[in-house]
Amino acid sequence: MISSLQKFSPLTIGIVSIILAIFFLSSMDATVKYLSSDYEILNLVWIRYLGQCLLVLVIIIPNLKSTLATNQLGLQLLRSLFLFLGTIFFFMGFSSIELGAATAILQINPLFVVLAAYYFLGESLGWRKILGVFVGLLGALIIIRPGTEVFTPYALYPIGGALGFAGYFIATKYLSKSETIWSSLFYTTIIGAVVSSLIVPFYWTTPSLGDLKFIGMIAILGTIGQLLIIYSLFKVHASVLSPFTYASIIFATIFGMLFFDEFPDIWTYIGALIIIFAGLYIWWYEFKKQHG
Protein backbone atom coordinates (compact mmCIF):
# COMPACT_ATOMS: atom_id res chain seq x y z
CA MET A 1 0.00 0.00 0.00
CA ILE A 2 2.71 2.45 1.02
CA SER A 3 5.00 1.63 -1.92
CA SER A 4 2.21 2.43 -4.40
CA LEU A 5 2.10 6.03 -3.11
CA GLN A 6 5.76 6.77 -3.84
CA LYS A 7 5.15 8.32 -7.30
CA PHE A 8 3.16 11.21 -5.80
CA SER A 9 4.42 14.37 -4.06
CA PRO A 10 5.20 14.21 -0.30
CA LEU A 11 2.20 16.46 0.41
CA THR A 12 -0.21 14.21 -1.49
CA ILE A 13 1.33 11.07 0.04
CA GLY A 14 0.98 12.50 3.55
CA ILE A 15 -2.65 13.52 3.07
CA VAL A 16 -3.71 10.23 1.44
CA SER A 17 -1.88 8.29 4.17
CA ILE A 18 -3.58 10.18 7.02
CA ILE A 19 -7.04 9.72 5.48
CA LEU A 20 -6.43 5.99 5.03
CA ALA A 21 -5.13 5.82 8.59
CA ILE A 22 -8.28 7.48 9.90
CA PHE A 23 -10.43 5.01 7.96
CA PHE A 24 -8.67 1.97 9.42
CA LEU A 25 -8.66 3.38 12.95
CA SER A 26 -12.34 4.34 12.69
CA SER A 27 -13.07 0.77 11.62
CA MET A 28 -11.19 -0.42 14.69
CA ASP A 29 -13.20 1.96 16.90
CA ALA A 30 -16.46 0.56 15.53
CA THR A 31 -15.25 -2.97 16.28
CA VAL A 32 -14.30 -1.98 19.83
CA LYS A 33 -17.70 -0.34 20.36
CA TYR A 34 -19.40 -3.53 19.19
CA LEU A 35 -17.48 -5.55 21.79
CA SER A 36 -17.67 -2.98 24.60
CA SER A 37 -21.06 -4.21 25.82
CA ASP A 38 -19.50 -7.57 26.74
CA TYR A 39 -15.94 -6.66 27.72
CA GLU A 40 -14.24 -4.13 29.98
CA ILE A 41 -12.56 -1.32 28.06
CA LEU A 42 -9.14 -2.23 29.47
CA ASN A 43 -9.61 -5.75 28.04
CA LEU A 44 -10.08 -4.22 24.61
CA VAL A 45 -7.17 -1.80 25.03
CA TRP A 46 -4.96 -4.77 25.92
CA ILE A 47 -6.16 -6.71 22.87
CA ARG A 48 -5.51 -3.69 20.66
CA TYR A 49 -1.93 -3.31 21.89
CA LEU A 50 -0.93 -6.94 22.33
CA GLY A 51 -2.26 -7.94 18.92
CA GLN A 52 -0.50 -5.03 17.27
CA CYS A 53 2.71 -5.81 19.16
CA LEU A 54 2.74 -9.43 17.94
CA LEU A 55 2.09 -8.38 14.34
CA VAL A 56 4.84 -5.76 14.44
CA LEU A 57 7.33 -8.21 15.98
CA VAL A 58 6.70 -10.70 13.17
CA ILE A 59 7.43 -7.98 10.61
CA ILE A 60 10.56 -6.49 12.23
CA ILE A 61 12.31 -9.64 13.55
CA PRO A 62 14.77 -9.73 10.59
CA ASN A 63 15.85 -6.18 11.50
CA LEU A 64 15.18 -6.24 15.24
CA LYS A 65 18.55 -4.82 16.30
CA SER A 66 18.33 -1.77 14.04
CA THR A 67 14.68 -1.26 14.97
CA LEU A 68 15.48 -1.16 18.68
CA ALA A 69 18.19 1.46 18.14
CA THR A 70 17.01 4.89 19.27
CA ASN A 71 18.63 8.13 20.36
CA GLN A 72 15.41 9.35 21.96
CA LEU A 73 14.30 6.58 24.31
CA GLY A 74 12.77 8.97 26.84
CA LEU A 75 10.70 10.74 24.20
CA GLN A 76 9.69 7.41 22.65
CA LEU A 77 8.37 6.30 26.04
CA LEU A 78 6.54 9.60 26.61
CA ARG A 79 5.07 9.46 23.11
CA SER A 80 3.82 5.92 23.70
CA LEU A 81 2.29 6.95 27.02
CA PHE A 82 0.41 9.80 25.32
CA LEU A 83 -1.12 7.36 22.83
CA PHE A 84 -1.93 4.78 25.52
CA LEU A 85 -3.81 7.30 27.67
CA GLY A 86 -5.52 8.82 24.63
CA THR A 87 -6.69 5.37 23.56
CA ILE A 88 -8.15 4.54 26.97
CA PHE A 89 -10.01 7.84 27.27
CA PHE A 90 -11.40 7.66 23.74
CA PHE A 91 -12.50 4.02 24.08
CA MET A 92 -14.28 4.91 27.32
CA GLY A 93 -15.96 7.83 25.58
CA PHE A 94 -17.46 6.08 22.58
CA SER A 95 -18.48 3.07 24.65
CA SER A 96 -20.71 5.42 26.68
CA ILE A 97 -22.06 7.84 24.06
CA GLU A 98 -22.67 7.66 20.30
CA LEU A 99 -19.62 6.82 18.20
CA GLY A 100 -20.12 9.85 15.95
CA ALA A 101 -20.60 12.20 18.91
CA ALA A 102 -17.49 10.95 20.71
CA THR A 103 -15.46 11.26 17.53
CA ALA A 104 -16.77 14.79 16.96
CA ILE A 105 -15.73 15.86 20.45
CA LEU A 106 -12.29 14.38 19.78
CA GLN A 107 -11.86 16.91 16.97
CA ILE A 108 -10.56 19.57 19.35
CA ASN A 109 -7.36 17.56 18.87
CA PRO A 110 -6.21 19.41 15.69
CA LEU A 111 -6.41 22.73 17.52
CA PHE A 112 -4.06 21.36 20.18
CA VAL A 113 -1.77 19.97 17.45
CA VAL A 114 -1.44 23.21 15.49
CA LEU A 115 -0.66 25.23 18.61
CA ALA A 116 1.78 22.63 19.95
CA ALA A 117 3.49 22.32 16.54
CA TYR A 118 4.11 26.06 16.63
CA TYR A 119 5.59 26.06 20.15
CA PHE A 120 7.49 22.74 20.14
CA LEU A 121 8.33 22.07 16.49
CA GLY A 122 8.78 25.61 15.20
CA GLU A 123 6.22 25.12 12.42
CA SER A 124 4.67 28.21 10.84
CA LEU A 125 1.32 29.41 12.09
CA GLY A 126 -0.13 31.69 9.43
CA TRP A 127 -3.63 33.06 9.61
CA ARG A 128 -4.86 30.78 6.81
CA LYS A 129 -3.77 27.67 8.69
CA ILE A 130 -5.41 28.93 11.87
CA LEU A 131 -8.58 29.76 9.92
CA GLY A 132 -8.73 26.25 8.43
CA VAL A 133 -8.42 24.60 11.83
CA PHE A 134 -11.01 26.85 13.47
CA VAL A 135 -13.47 26.37 10.61
CA GLY A 136 -13.05 22.61 11.00
CA LEU A 137 -13.56 22.95 14.74
CA LEU A 138 -16.73 24.96 14.06
CA GLY A 139 -18.01 22.06 11.98
CA ALA A 140 -17.33 19.70 14.88
CA LEU A 141 -19.16 22.00 17.29
CA ILE A 142 -22.17 22.13 14.97
CA ILE A 143 -22.32 18.34 15.14
CA ILE A 144 -22.00 18.05 18.92
CA ARG A 145 -24.04 21.22 19.72
CA PRO A 146 -23.01 22.32 23.23
CA GLY A 147 -25.90 22.25 25.66
CA THR A 148 -27.45 19.09 24.24
CA GLU A 149 -27.39 15.56 25.63
CA VAL A 150 -23.95 14.97 24.09
CA PHE A 151 -22.40 17.03 26.87
CA THR A 152 -22.73 14.52 29.66
CA PRO A 153 -19.82 13.73 32.01
CA TYR A 154 -18.92 10.96 29.57
CA ALA A 155 -18.10 13.66 27.00
CA LEU A 156 -15.02 14.50 29.07
CA TYR A 157 -13.42 11.20 28.08
CA PRO A 158 -12.98 12.12 24.39
CA ILE A 159 -11.50 15.46 25.49
CA GLY A 160 -8.89 13.53 27.47
CA GLY A 161 -8.37 11.41 24.38
CA ALA A 162 -7.81 14.53 22.28
CA LEU A 163 -5.08 15.75 24.62
CA GLY A 164 -3.37 12.36 24.58
CA PHE A 165 -3.49 12.04 20.79
CA ALA A 166 -2.19 15.59 20.31
CA GLY A 167 0.83 14.82 22.49
CA TYR A 168 1.43 11.63 20.52
CA PHE A 169 1.06 13.46 17.19
CA ILE A 170 3.63 16.13 18.07
CA ALA A 171 6.14 13.69 19.60
CA THR A 172 5.90 11.49 16.50
CA LYS A 173 6.62 14.43 14.22
CA TYR A 174 9.62 15.47 16.33
CA LEU A 175 11.02 11.93 16.31
CA SER A 176 10.65 11.70 12.53
CA LYS A 177 13.86 13.74 12.28
CA SER A 178 16.00 10.97 13.78
CA GLU A 179 13.96 7.74 14.12
CA THR A 180 12.72 5.20 11.58
CA ILE A 181 9.06 4.44 10.99
CA TRP A 182 9.45 0.89 12.32
CA SER A 183 11.32 2.01 15.42
CA SER A 184 8.54 4.46 16.28
CA LEU A 185 5.85 1.84 15.62
CA PHE A 186 7.67 -0.76 17.73
CA TYR A 187 8.02 1.47 20.79
CA THR A 188 4.41 2.59 20.46
CA THR A 189 3.17 -0.98 20.57
CA ILE A 190 5.57 -2.50 23.10
CA ILE A 191 4.98 0.15 25.76
CA GLY A 192 1.20 -0.07 25.38
CA ALA A 193 1.34 -3.88 25.44
CA VAL A 194 3.50 -4.00 28.59
CA VAL A 195 1.49 -1.42 30.54
CA SER A 196 -1.89 -2.87 29.58
CA SER A 197 -0.66 -6.41 30.39
CA LEU A 198 0.11 -5.27 33.93
CA ILE A 199 -3.40 -3.84 34.35
CA VAL A 200 -5.64 -6.27 32.45
CA PRO A 201 -5.61 -9.16 35.01
CA PHE A 202 -7.74 -6.99 37.30
CA TYR A 203 -10.40 -6.52 34.58
CA TRP A 204 -10.12 -9.77 32.62
CA THR A 205 -13.05 -11.29 30.75
CA THR A 206 -12.39 -14.47 28.74
CA PRO A 207 -13.44 -13.89 25.10
CA SER A 208 -15.88 -16.23 23.41
CA LEU A 209 -14.90 -18.18 20.30
CA GLY A 210 -17.37 -16.17 18.24
CA ASP A 211 -15.64 -12.91 19.18
CA LEU A 212 -12.14 -14.02 18.20
CA LYS A 213 -12.54 -12.73 14.64
CA PHE A 214 -13.46 -9.29 15.94
CA ILE A 215 -10.53 -9.36 18.35
CA GLY A 216 -8.22 -10.14 15.43
CA MET A 217 -9.71 -7.24 13.48
CA ILE A 218 -8.87 -4.83 16.31
CA ALA A 219 -5.20 -5.83 16.13
CA ILE A 220 -4.93 -5.73 12.34
CA LEU A 221 -6.87 -2.49 11.79
CA GLY A 222 -5.01 -0.75 14.61
CA THR A 223 -1.61 -1.80 13.25
CA ILE A 224 -2.32 -0.60 9.70
CA GLY A 225 -3.76 2.69 10.93
CA GLN A 226 -0.84 3.34 13.27
CA LEU A 227 1.73 2.64 10.56
CA LEU A 228 -0.01 5.00 8.14
CA ILE A 229 -0.15 7.80 10.73
CA ILE A 230 3.57 7.52 11.41
CA TYR A 231 4.31 7.37 7.68
CA SER A 232 2.24 10.49 6.99
CA LEU A 233 4.05 12.43 9.73
CA PHE A 234 7.37 11.52 8.14
CA LYS A 235 6.17 13.23 4.94
CA VAL A 236 4.22 16.36 5.93
CA HIS A 237 4.06 18.92 8.75
CA ALA A 238 1.80 17.89 11.62
CA SER A 239 -0.21 21.11 11.44
CA VAL A 240 -0.95 20.49 7.74
CA LEU A 241 -2.22 16.97 8.40
CA SER A 242 -4.24 17.76 11.50
CA PRO A 243 -7.37 19.15 9.73
CA PHE A 244 -7.70 15.90 7.78
CA THR A 245 -8.25 13.98 11.00
CA TYR A 246 -11.72 15.54 10.90
CA ALA A 247 -12.53 12.81 8.38
CA SER A 248 -12.92 10.49 11.37
CA ILE A 249 -16.29 12.15 12.03
CA ILE A 250 -17.46 11.12 8.58
CA PHE A 251 -16.33 7.53 8.99
CA ALA A 252 -17.65 7.26 12.55
CA THR A 253 -21.04 8.62 11.51
CA ILE A 254 -21.29 6.12 8.65
CA PHE A 255 -20.29 3.21 10.90
CA GLY A 256 -22.74 4.37 13.55
CA MET A 257 -25.56 4.32 10.99
CA LEU A 258 -24.60 0.95 9.53
CA PHE A 259 -23.89 -1.01 12.69
CA PHE A 260 -25.43 0.77 15.69
CA ASP A 261 -28.61 2.44 14.33
CA GLU A 262 -27.17 5.86 15.21
CA PHE A 263 -28.70 8.11 12.57
CA PRO A 264 -27.41 11.69 12.33
CA ASP A 265 -29.61 14.72 11.87
CA ILE A 266 -29.25 17.57 9.39
CA TRP A 267 -26.79 19.41 11.63
CA THR A 268 -24.39 16.48 11.47
CA TYR A 269 -24.36 16.68 7.68
CA ILE A 270 -23.82 20.45 7.75
CA GLY A 271 -20.96 20.08 10.21
CA ALA A 272 -19.41 17.29 8.15
CA LEU A 273 -19.43 19.44 4.99
CA ILE A 274 -17.75 22.28 6.86
CA ILE A 275 -15.07 19.89 8.12
CA ILE A 276 -14.37 18.60 4.62
CA PHE A 277 -14.14 22.17 3.33
CA ALA A 278 -11.63 23.09 6.05
CA GLY A 279 -9.38 20.15 5.23
CA LEU A 280 -9.42 20.89 1.51
CA TYR A 281 -8.69 24.55 2.18
CA ILE A 282 -5.55 23.70 4.15
CA TRP A 283 -4.44 21.31 1.39
CA TRP A 284 -5.04 23.93 -1.32
CA TYR A 285 -3.10 26.58 0.61
CA GLU A 286 -0.08 24.31 1.16
CA PHE A 287 -0.14 23.01 -2.41
CA LYS A 288 -0.23 26.55 -3.80
CA LYS A 289 2.61 27.62 -1.50
CA GLN A 290 4.82 24.69 -2.55
CA HIS A 291 4.12 25.00 -6.28
CA GLY A 292 3.99 28.76 -6.60
Give residue-wise pLDDT tens across range 96-151. Answer: 888 988 888 887 787 788 778 888 888 777 888 888 888 888 888 887 777 776 56
What is the model's pLDDT at position 55?
A: 81
Whether pTM > 0.85 for this model: the answer is no
Please state, in angstroms and rounded to a whole number, the distance separating the CA atoms of residues 204 and 123: 44
Q: How many CB atoms lie within 10 A of CB 75?
A: 17
Distances (CA, A) of 149 to 97, 98, 142, 143, 153: 10, 11, 14, 12, 10
Q: Length of the chain, please?
A: 292
DSSP structural state of residue 65: H
pLDDT at site 68: 84
Task: Tell me the domain boundaries of the chain.
Answer: 31-291
**Average pLDDT, integer, range 13-36:** 94
Kindly give the interhelix angle for 212-233 and 41-60, rounded to the nearest 10 degrees. 60
